[in-house]
Amino acid sequence: MRNQNQPVAIEGYPFIGLFAFITLVFALLSWSLCTLLFLGLTLFTAYFFRNPDRFSDAEEAAVLAPADGKVIYVGPALEERYFKSEVTKISIFMSVFNVHVNRVPMSGKVVDMFYNKGQFFNAAMDKASLHNEQAGMLLENASGRQMLVVQIAGLIARRIVTYPVVGDILQRGARYGLIRFGSRVDIYLPDDVETQVRVGERVCCGETILAYLK
């Protein structure tokens, strides 16, 4: 899969290259203000698409955060596509200042995936889970426990990228996709998990433990 070693996600290269080129043109024209503006955009775009290394030695039962950001919901939710019953849902909101590369929360097999076109409400709003553009991935571990991870586009985001395909075996902590520019990730867990985070907490993708599977 992509972006396993690159310090900047390759999806950002076209944007960085475009802004860098415009910066160079304005610099050659000696348009100082425009040069500084686009230099700032170039640097911010490189920062936005940063892809830092993350490591965790947590026990196998630990479910790791699939995204950087702020926890905006922890609690029960009805998931009708796969579980058709009340499960535990954790929602993480990513601002434009968070790392936007997403990571696998649990080792396992990709047993199903979906993509829905939708609207672009603010990702922090409750209705974003239902109405926004989104892509979901259903994982099943060696014990048969399943969880659903859903990437949701936000107010500015217009592109969800997901690398795996159905049948892939993924390792916890591996990069599996990203969302451009400001978004949200919802994770649906079995209702008997022991959650470890609360609303308002900041989490680190691939390192923070969200919950423990029993």
Residues with a catalytic annotation lie at 183
Burial of 120-149, coded b for 16+ CB within 10 Å and e otherwise, reads bbebbbeebbeebbbbbbbbebeeebbbbb
* Amino acid (one-letter) located at 9: A
- E-strand stretches of 4-107: 62-64, 69-79, 85-94, 101-103
d(CA 66, CA 103): 5
User: Measured between alpha carbons, how far is residue 206 from residues 24, 53, 67, 176 in Å?
Assistant: 37, 9, 7, 11
